[in-house]
Amino acid sequence: MNAQPYTPALARPRRVMVLGLAALSTGFASVEMHRLLAAHGTTVPEFFVLGLFALCFAWIALSFWSGVAGFLQLVSNQRVPGLRWPTEEEAGKPLTRRTAVVMPVYNEDPAAVFAHVQATYESIAATGQLDAFDFYVLSDSTRAESWVAEELAWSELCRRVGGQGRIFYRRRSDNTAKKAGNLAEFCERWGRRYDFLLVLDADSLMAGDSVVEMARLMELNPGAGILQVPPQNVGRSTLFARLQQFAGRVYGPIVAAGAAAWQLGDSNYWGHNAILRMAPFIEHCGLPVLPGQQPFGGHILSHDFVEAALMRRAGYTVWLVPELGGSYEQPPPDLLAYAQRDRRWCQGNLQHLGLVMAGGLHPMSRMHFLMGVMSYVASPLWLIFLVAGLFAALHEWFFAPATLLEFQATLPGGDAFDTVGALRLMVLSLALLWIPRLMGMGLILANREEAARLGGRFKLVLSVALEGVVSTLMAPVMMLFQSHFVFGTLLGYKVNWSSQQREDTDLPWSEALRRHKWHMAIGAVLAALTVAVAPGMLAWLSPVILGLWLSPAISVFTARASLGLWAQRRGLFLIPEEVQPPTVLVRAQELAEEGMEPVDDALDHVLTDPRAHALHLALLEAHPTGSVPVALASARRKLLAGGVEPLSPQEKSAVLLDARTLSELRGRRLGVQA
């Protein structure tokens, strides 16, 4: 138990240490880079290159020293100060406050969604604390088939677990503000009934004991506004997903512990697998609509960072609590699905630039906004750095009295190039990238039982090496993807709101070649320029060139579940949740495999299945929403004409929203059958 109250003085020395060491590292690296660039006199382009290098290196250095802080935190085996943890006696008492567990969904697979809801529900019930929780599935689904299937899955779930009056389902037809608007509407209608709000994503899964401890921590710490538990990636079989799951399991604890160690009560919120204090969330965390048009104006896409900042501005602390565990989600199945998700997150984070200077925010909240922006802007900055470096070299060739041979002598591999200094800088950069990975691996190697649950020590080391190689080859591809996303956002490109791809499916070569053709072309141009102008740099740039050339093959092969399962059988990229799966994961998998009857045509299903018809009308009565008059009139005209002309998705939804039309159509069908 740690009863030391949280104050700014508690965090100050930790932040000075992490940020100070990051600044010192950046200063040293920048001096080395300046010495390399100034070997033959410094030009304006070279000063620009130096500025870009310093900014990019600072981002790497901050990540490194945060990882070191995480390593020290884990080695010390102590909790971060500032939160009061329950005593053994307090941990055995019933919860006294009420929590709403909410899962917003949007055109997801209902079988998978409700399997996770049921597994979490049963896991909480097993703790004996179920009376303190109610569950809500909040649908924004626009596909009629998803909508009707969700209703049936909810009804079946309530029947299975006796959840009537404890598990609720609500679909809204107006999707204003997307997920954030969905949660806001819930809080307006039902939020005052509860003390806390536990937010899950459509692929979230949480162990009951972790959920109960989160609620208890909120009870014991009235100043805490948000407790975020980092989710572990689980449940997918493609090689790409297994690499993500393995990396998250080996390196993730270092990252999470590091952030918690120096941010303390000024941490961030990631939008799901977190518990929030309901009253201040309702009162202080309403999201503004940004002025102007998308992509920078309009409704805020990445609402979580903003809600954390508003909660902190209201005087409540925000905590990252990695020691709780029992928090799970699913990774994207392949590189292209990962990039698609990144595109939405990129635009959402860039929106935060307009909020950095908002009044009254805590300095750490402003820093979180900037860190979120930098997580995407770093890629185009590195790209500009590489291009600017080439331009600076060509500038020296064109404007300095040098022949081509003299120019090449100043580049890597040339006689006049400071190879030792460049290697020193390269080794420093690689060390900052790799040492946190090695620290994560070292913590596992030091624990024989933990290493055994990741395939054994030899397989663990081999997996880390292989994951490092694949990640290195993927890095230039993601750099170009993210650069494209950033430049596209700056040019006014707006992302569409679509459900994420979650299923394991092989990626066709045609799709991979289509999506990566420009990456291959850029790799070819880069290789040709390097060979023609500076062949000595070819070895230095080979990981970038190879990654771009091989990008279609990397996407295709890492998207294959057969390769992921092959690696699993050989003990590679294992995670403990596969070797000794927690009960909640086993139960969720069992329920998902049972599946449910598919809904191929929502309207036909509601009209022909008496149970679906009665359930749908009952839910329409409980949560009335107006239909679209024009679409409904058009649909009725088509249906009354005998149904020869097919209904559009909008017309089908309009009919499903109108109880009178549904009852009339159902009556006509029964009359015809009679």
Q: How far apart are CA 198 and CA 138, in angstroms?
A: 13
d(C-alpha 381, C-alpha 51), whole Å? 10
CB 389 within 8 A of CB 512: no
- Per-residue confidence band for 391, with pLDDT thresholds at 50, 70 and 90: low
* CB-based contact 516:473 (threshold 8 Å): no
| pLDDT tens per residue, range 235-280 | 999 999 999 999 999 999 999 999 999 999 999 999 999 999 999 9
What is the residue-wise DSSP string for 166-225?
Answer: TEEEEE-S--TTHHHHHHHHHHHHHGGG-SEEEE--TT-EE-HHHHHHHHHHHHH-TTEE
Smallest CA-to-CA distance from 423 within 539, 306, 256 is with 539
Range with the largest mean pLDDT of 50-59, 307-316, 598-607: 307-316
Whether the pLDDT of residue 126 is over 80: the answer is yes
Can you give the pTM of this predicted structure? 0.91
Q: Which two tokens stand for residue 526?
A: 């880069």
DSSP assignment of 341-354:
HHHHHHHHHHHGGG
Percent of the chain with pLDDT over 70: 90
The 3 state secondary structure assigned to 121-145 is HHHHHHCCCHHHEEEEEEECCCCHH
Convert the pLDDT of each residue in 329-374 to its tens digit. 999 999 999 998 888 889 889 999 989 999 999 999 999 999 999 9
Residue pLDDT, tens place only, 398-440: 555 455 445 555 555 554 445 566 677 888 888 999 999 999 9
Q: Are strands 196-199 and 274-277 parallel, antiparallel or unpaired?
A: antiparallel
Beta carbons of 463 and 246 less than 8 angstroms apart: yes
- Whole-number pLDDT of residue 48: 81
Distance CA 36, CA 125 (A): 64
Residues 13-38: what's their mean pLDDT? Answer: 91
Using pLDDT thresholds of 50, 70 and 90, give the confidence band for residue 507.
very high
For residue 135, list its beta bridge partners: 101, 167
